[in-house]
């Protein structure tokens, strides 16, 4: 069970998620079992890219919310 959000990363306005992958993975690798990160995205294609990337790791997308046209994605270990 996730008890707290370790970090919130906002990738709104970026044109490519390629540079974000390393940063996201770096934060995920430092999480304790009860921590997660939130990733803010502003486009459907960014969410799909993130889902594809996360599916190749040991981490899971725990929650996706849409708020004011942006996706707020919670990622961590189950």
Q: How many domains does the chain have?
A: 1
In this structure, are strands 70-76 and 60-67 parallel, antiparallel, or unpaired? antiparallel
Q: CATH number, domain at 58?
A: 3.30.110.40
Q: Provide the domain limits for residue 20.
A: 4-76
Rounded mean pLDDT, 9-31:
86
pLDDT of residue 33: 87
Closest residue by Cα to residue 53 from 27, 12, 31, 24: 24
pTM of the model: 0.89
Query: Chain-centre distance of CA 74, in angstroms?
Result: 6
Tokens of 70: 């942006």
Q: Using 50, 70 and 90 to split pLDDT, how confident is the model at 1?
A: low
Give me the sign of the Cα torsion angle 23, 25, 31, 34. Answer: positive
């Amino acid at each position: 069970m996730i008890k707290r959000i370790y970090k919130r990363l906002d990738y709104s306005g970026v044109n490519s998620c390629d540079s974000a992958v390393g940063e996201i993975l770096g934060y995920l690798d430092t999480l304790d079992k009860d921590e997660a990160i939130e990733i803010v995205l502003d486009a459907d294609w960014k969410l799909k890219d993130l889902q594809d990337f996360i599916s190749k790791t040991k981490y899971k997308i725990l929650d996706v919310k849409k708020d004011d046209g942006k996706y707020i994605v919670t990622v961590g270990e189950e």
